[in-house]
Structure 1
Amino acid sequence: MNDKPTSLNAEGISEPFASENVPLEEWSKGTRYGTKFRYLSGFGGANHVGVALEELAPGKESNMNHYHMLEEEQAFILEGEMTLRLGDKTYLMKAGDHVCFPAGQKVGHSFYNHSDTPCRFIMIGEKNPNEVVVYPETGRVGVRLLSEGYDKAATMEYWQGADTEQKPRN
C-alpha cells in the first residue's frame, strides 16, 4: 500500500488537485546541484508520463548534463530565467519559453540558474523502465532497468571474453 498522499479517491480514480497540495520535495548534491519540486504526475497516479513543477534556486544547476536514449523530455518556463546548457551552447530561457529534448538526441542538457531569483518551470518526461541515460561530462551511462551506472570508456567488443574455440556444451 502506498502511504504517500495522492489524488486517488477510495475507488482508485484520480481526481483533480491543486499543485500546492502536492508535497514539496528537495534534493541537493554539494554546492553545485539541487532543486525543489512537486511531482505532479506521481501525485495524480500517472505511470507513463512524468510531470514535475520545479524551482531552481539562484546559483544551482538542475542535474548533471545528460541525454536520454529512449525518453523524450520537455521543459516550459513559468517564471524567472535560467541558462540552458545544450551541448557546447548556452541559451537564455525565460518565462514563456519551451524546449524539447527528443529521445536519442546525443547532446547533453542541463539548466543553471544564473539569476538572483528562483526560476520555476514544468518538466515533462517519459518514464520508460528500460531507459539509458548518458552523461557526457563524466562518461557515466545509467541503465534504469538494472538500476546501475557504467563507465562509458570501459567498452567491450562483442566477442571479447568469449571462448570462440571451445566446443559447445551438451
Structure 2
Amino acid sequence: MSSNDEKSDPQVIRKPIAAESVPWHVWSKGSRFGSRYRHLTKAVMGGDAYHVGVAIEELAPGQQSSPAHYHLLEEEHILILEGRATLRLGDETLEMSAGDYVCFPARQKAGHCLINTSDAPCRFVVIGEQKPDEVCVYTDSNKILVRSVDAVYDKSQVRDYWDGEATGADPGPSSSSSSS
C-alpha cells in the first residue's frame, strides 16, 4: 500500500499528537488579512483526505482572520483559547474572549470573521467541514466561491436562467394556448 493510500485509508490507526509538535504556517494578504495556524487534522491525516478539519489559529493585533463570509454546505465552529477578538456576525460586532464559543451553521446567511482589535495575540480553535461541493458567499465583496469548479464568481452578474440559450423561437407575449 502506498503512502497516498494510507492517508485516506480509514483502517490506518491515527495516534494522538501534541498540538505543539505541529509547525506553524503563516498566510497573509496585504496588511489587513493574516494569521498563523497549526492544522491538526492535516498533521494527523497526512493531507486533504478528511471531512472535518481542526486547526489552532493565532491572530495578531490588527489582523482579520478572513474576508467576511458564510457557508451554504459547511458548518464552522470557533473556540477562543487566549486573548480577545471582535466577531463580525452579519450586521453585529461581538466581543469574544478566552472560553467563548460560537457556531456558524450551514446556510446561516450572516457573514462572519474575526478581527483582533486588542494589543495582544488571540489564539483560537477553528473546526470546520471540508466538502468538495461547498459554496461560500463573501458578504463584503459580493462574491461566491464554488469549490467543485474551483472558481469565484461576481454575485452582481446574476443572469436569467435562459440568458444565452438558443431556445428556438420567441414565444411571443403568451406561450399558453388561447381559448376561442
Q: Aligned to 1:153, what secondary structure does the other structure show?
A: helix
Q: Who is 2:38 aligned against?
A: 38
Deviation, structure 1 residue 68:
0.4
1:76 to 79, 99, 110: 79
Q: Structure 2: state its 5+ residue gaps.
A: 170-180
1:51 to 54, 58, 82: 54
* CA distance in 1: counterparts of 2:87 and 2:18, whole angstroms: 28
Deviation, structure 1 residue 12:
3.7
Deviation, structure 1 residue 13:
2.3
The aligned amino acid for 2:67 is M
The aligned amino acid for 1:15 is K
TM-score, normalised relative to structure 2: 0.85
Q: Who is 1:19 aligned against?
A: 19
Map of 1:131-170 to 2, 5 A cutoff?
131-165=134-168
2:130 to 127, 130, 136: 127
**Aligned pairs, number:** 161
Q: Who is 2:119 aligned against?
A: 116
Q: Aligned to 1:42, what secondary structure does the other structure show?
A: helix
Within the alignment, does 1:102 sit opposite 2:105 as a pair? Answer: yes
Deviations 1:83-125 (A, max 9, x none): 0001111000000100010000111000000100000000000
The aligned amino acid for 1:43 is A
Q: Structure 1: state its 5+ residue gaps.
A: none
Q: Aligned to 1:137, what secondary structure does the other structure show?
A: coil
The aligned amino acid for 2:29 is K
Deviation, structure 1 residue 2:
6.6
Q: Determine what percentage of the aligned residue pairs are the same residue.
A: 51
* CA distance in 2: counterparts of 1:30 and 1:2, whole angstroms: 37
Q: Aligned to 1:44, what secondary structure does the other structure show?
A: helix
Q: Aligned to 2:157, what secondary structure does the other structure show?
A: coil
* CA distance in 2: counterparts of 1:101 and 1:145, whole angstroms: 21
Within the alignment, does 1:61 sit opposite 2:64 as a pair? Answer: yes
* CA distance in 1: counterparts of 2:155 and 2:119, whole angstroms: 36
Please state which structure has a larger fraction of its residues in helix. Answer: 2
The aligned amino acid for 2:21 is N
Q: Who is 2:91 aligned against?
A: 88
